[in-house]
Chain A
């Protein structure tokens, strides 16, 4: 089975721009979660989508948004980028049941200049 894939792997943007990151889950997985990883804050939960609906949301500003498509692929959007948004953005997929094991992708490294 192919693993979780994320595109692009690296991105460089400037402040004020917006960015869209993509995640393709493992085949058969219906839940996709997004996390932000930074050296200072560690891994922080952004949101989770299940069957095209946002099921859970972390404590991030409204500039961070996401969506999920009928094939379970998910996108994450960050608008009006700030320097502090520079991070590794990780996507994880699972079957979606309670406390299912989450499988992580390689991440997208976003640098905001």
Chain B
């Protein structure tokens, strides 16, 4: 079965620090990859997605992610975080015949002002 692993449960950073959140998936075939964000009290929103093409994907609010097929990874990055980036981040995959999103357990990001 497909699965998604997010390495960090809770990350605490100061403003202006760089961010990298790890995500690994288990499916060996063609995958579509997503990062969603859930701000406190708000619903899940799509940050970025990868379907094909350039493995470096840019999303909203300065976030980007790199798909590395050989490592089954899709890590999320941001060069300089802001207090408003405090949220929970979810990596998700759709692979093969599955039409549904398989989510990682999420990473809580706390940014100290």
Contacts and interface: CB of A to CB of B under 8 A. Distances in A.
Please tell me the size bucket of the interface on B: 20 to 34
Nearest to B99: A56
Interface majority SS on A: helix, strand, loop or mixed? strand
Contacts of A103: 46
Given A43-B90, A90-B44, A107-B43, A102 B105 contact: no
Given A42-B105, A43-B90, A56 B98 contact: yes
A99 B32 contact: yes
A42 B103 contact: yes
A56 B100 CA distance: 7
B90 A105 contact: no
Interface of A: 4, 33, 35, 42-45, 48, 55-56, 58, 90, 92, 98-99, 101-107
